[in-house]
Amino acid sequence: MIRRNYIFAPGPVSVPPQVLAATAKPIIHHRSADFDPLFQKVSEGLKYVFQTTNPVVIFASSGTGAMEAAIVSSASPGDRVLSLEAGKFGERWGEIAQAFGLNVQRRACEWGKAVDPNVVAEELKQHPETKAVYLELCETSTATLENVKAVAEVTRNTETLLIVDAVSGLAADELRMDEWGVDLVGAGSQKAMMLPPGLGFVAVSAKAREAIKKSTTPKFYFSLEKALKELEKNTTPFTPAVSLLFGLEVALDMIREEGIENIWKRHARLAEASRRAVRAMNLELYSKNPANTCTAVLAPEGIEGGKIVKALKAKGITIAGGQGPLKGKIFRFATLGWYNDYDVLTIIAAIEEVLAELGHKFQPGAGVNAAMEYLRQNP
């Protein structure tokens, strides 16, 4: 078979060729009139993806930079904040808040389960001074969907901000920022936005904006206050990553054409087909509340998870292993962003091949058939 490379990791994702081509356009000067229509278009277009009428700031950074911006711009040293940590990425927000001297309550939650909104309600009752709650949309390390809507119901009529890390979840798992009442949402470019890595996004509610005015945490590059002020003038405080914005323009056109709700449905359908395939291959899902962003699978007894990742890699197929305590215990694959039914068949077929080679017992073809059947019956 002619070797081709496939990326089925939960980010970075395959970038559509028309987006790649746009990123190679000749550079324009970001402090000239050439830049204005591009920046206005992508800034407006992003609002649709976040389902908000509020401004969305764009940083030249990874998704982590976007989350740092959300944290350092919305609180002051010593402020009590609640970090809900049910995986590797949830832990990162606690680490950032600690690095900047916030009084962060790092609540370790059970991995692979959604956080109980009552935990938040209880905390806010006892500590109404809590400045912000940090939550994932999708906890990528466990492929688990959090219940952002339910937590937002707890925070929305309080002084407390809800800050959501949607780095991997944006445009894959449902997120209605304004309708649900989320205050700050951070994301990155290399996931369902279908771009190369290098852009960080932060959407900012009116409530968050008020908090930002009062924040005294030291910051410069990641100051949302500065970025919002410049955004009003249709520009950025520092040099933007122009070529990635060319790509963003094309990706946003694709998103608008398909429709964000259709995109969520597509991800849900491809993820459900993947989950059915997993079970049909005699495997177990790791998460009790799986996200549509990616699928985490328990490695079968006697087979180290990393071996599955490595064997797929030898075929040119990139997926991800487990992180932290899940290292070797799970493997994770995504159908995230620019993916369709045939991509599901590709990754499931490849997993079948590898599992057979590694001696896992299952009916050959069962995975592919289960996925196909579900996709056929749920067009």
- Residue numbers in the known binding site for substrate are 332
114: buried, middle or exposed (CB in 10 Å: 19+, 13-18, 0-12)? buried
Contacts of 376 (CB under 8 A, 6+ apart): none
Q: State which of positions 151-170 bind a second copy (CB under 8 A).
A: none
The neighbour count for residue 302, using CB atoms within 10 Å, is: 8
Binding residue for a second copy (CB under 8 A) from 145, 241, 280, 311? 241
Q: State which of positions 271-300 bind a second copy (CB under 8 A).
A: none
Looking at residue 93, its amino acid is: W
Interface region with a second copy, contact rule CB under 8 A, candidates 23-31, 138-146, 206-214, 354-362: 23-31
Residue 339 or 374 having the CB closest to a second copy: 339
155-157-163 Cα angle (round to 5): 35
To the nearest 10°, the Cα dihedral for 166, 294, 142, 60? Answer: -40
Residue 343, CB half-sphere, CA atoms under 13 Å: how many? Answer: 23
Please give the backbone phi and psi of residue 87, each rounded to the nearest 5 degrees, phi first: 170, 180
Q: State which of positions 354-373 bind a second copy (CB under 8 A).
A: none
Residue 137 or 317 having the CB closest to a second copy: 317
Query: Any contact of residue 229 with a second copy (CB under 8 A)?
Result: no
Cis geometry, peptide bond prior to residue 12 (ω within 30 degrees of 0): yes
DSSP structure class, residue 329: T
Which residue is it, tokens 């940083």?
A: 59
Query: Any contact of residue 2 with a second copy (CB under 8 A)?
Result: no
Please give the backbone phi and psi of residue 203, each rounded to the nearest 5 degrees, phi first: -95, 140
Q: State which of positions 89-118 bind a second copy (CB under 8 A).
A: 95-96, 99-101
Q: State which of positions 198-217 bind a second copy (CB under 8 A).
A: 198, 217
Residue 1 or 33 having the CB closest to a second copy: 33
Binding residue for a second copy (CB under 8 A) from 1, 2, 3, 31? 31
Binding residue for a second copy (CB under 8 A) from 20, 38, 254, 345? 20
Interface region with a second copy, contact rule CB under 8 A, candidates 110-118, 232-240, 285-293, 353-361: 232-240
Binding residue for a second copy (CB under 8 A) from 50, 222, 331, 374? 222
Query: 234 near 96, Cβ under 8 Å?
Result: no
Residue 278 or 320 having the CB closest to a second copy: 320
Binding residue for a second copy (CB under 8 A) from 37, 78, 128, 218? 218
Binding residue for a second copy (CB under 8 A) from 55, 90, 240, 322? 240
Buried b (16+ CB within 10 A) or exposed e, 140-163: bbbbbbbebebbbbbbbeeebbbb
Residue 30 or 267 having the CB closest to a second copy: 30
DSSP element (H, E) containing 144? strand 144-145
Residue 217 or 335 having the CB closest to a second copy: 217
Binding residue for a second copy (CB under 8 A) from 75, 202, 244, 273? 244
60 forms beta bridges with 199
The first and second tokens of residue 189, run together, are 């470019």
Size of the site for a second copy (CB under 8 A): 55
Which residue is it, tokens 């078979």?
A: 1
Binding residue for a second copy (CB under 8 A) from 45, 116, 197, 307? 197
The Cα–Cα gap between 358 and 170 comes to 35
- The binding track of 44-83 with respect to a second copy, each residue x by CB under 8 A or -, is ----------------xxxxxx--x---------------
Binding residue for a second copy (CB under 8 A) from 1, 33, 232, 361? 33
The Cα–Cα gap between 18 and 29 comes to 22
- Footprint of a second copy on this chain (CB under 8 A)? 5, 7, 9, 11-15, 20-21, 23-34, 60-65, 68, 95-96, 99-101, 188, 190, 196-198, 217-222, 238-244, 313, 318, 320
